[in-house]
Amino acid sequence: MNKDESIRFAARYLEDLLSFFGINVAVSSTIDDEVIQLSVPSTSLNSLLIGKNADNLRALQHIVSMALVSKEAEVVRVNVDVANYKKQRASRIAEKAEGWIKKVRESGKPMEINLNAADRRIVHKTAQDYSDIETHSEGEGRDRKLIISKKELN
């Protein structure tokens, strides 16, 4: 299954999955950095689809991704967003990152933050805009933390 077929299949598969729960919506799809982006419009069941700590969103992503793997699709990474929940969350995390970076700049002391992988990625990306700041992650699994620090001047 080529890239275009993979995108169409993923959107259709998610639409079919949602219709099983009585949610009949058109899922929009794009591709960005070899990740299929699926956007579900707002419905009365947003909270069910998102779930606590976005667990249901991650489960939907996993199901669609595994369906793509089983079809030997060219692209199998999937990001599902419901009612722009992830976009709004990313904006909030980026705002927080700006504050953390400001604190590190003022104090000169590194900051250690416990975030999930997606949120760490947002902070890493935000920090790239600062030439005097660097970020990296340490630890394994759930104990993985993000470190924000000032760059060492040579």
Cβ(4)–Cβ(31) below 8 Å: no
94 and 55 both lie in a single domain: no
20 and 56 both lie in a single domain: yes
Q: Of 35, 56, 83, which closes a domain?
A: 83
Give the pLDDT score at 2. Answer: 87
Give the pLDDT score at 153. Answer: 67
What is the CATH classification number for the domain harbouring 75? Answer: 3.30.300.20
Q: Is 54 left (phi over 0), alpha (psi -120 to 50) or beta?
A: left
Q: What is the mean pLDDT of each run of 10 residues along the chain (154 residues)?
A: 90 93 90 89 89 89 94 89 91 94 92 88 91 91 90 72
Question: Looking up tokens 């919506």, which residue turns up?
Answer: 25
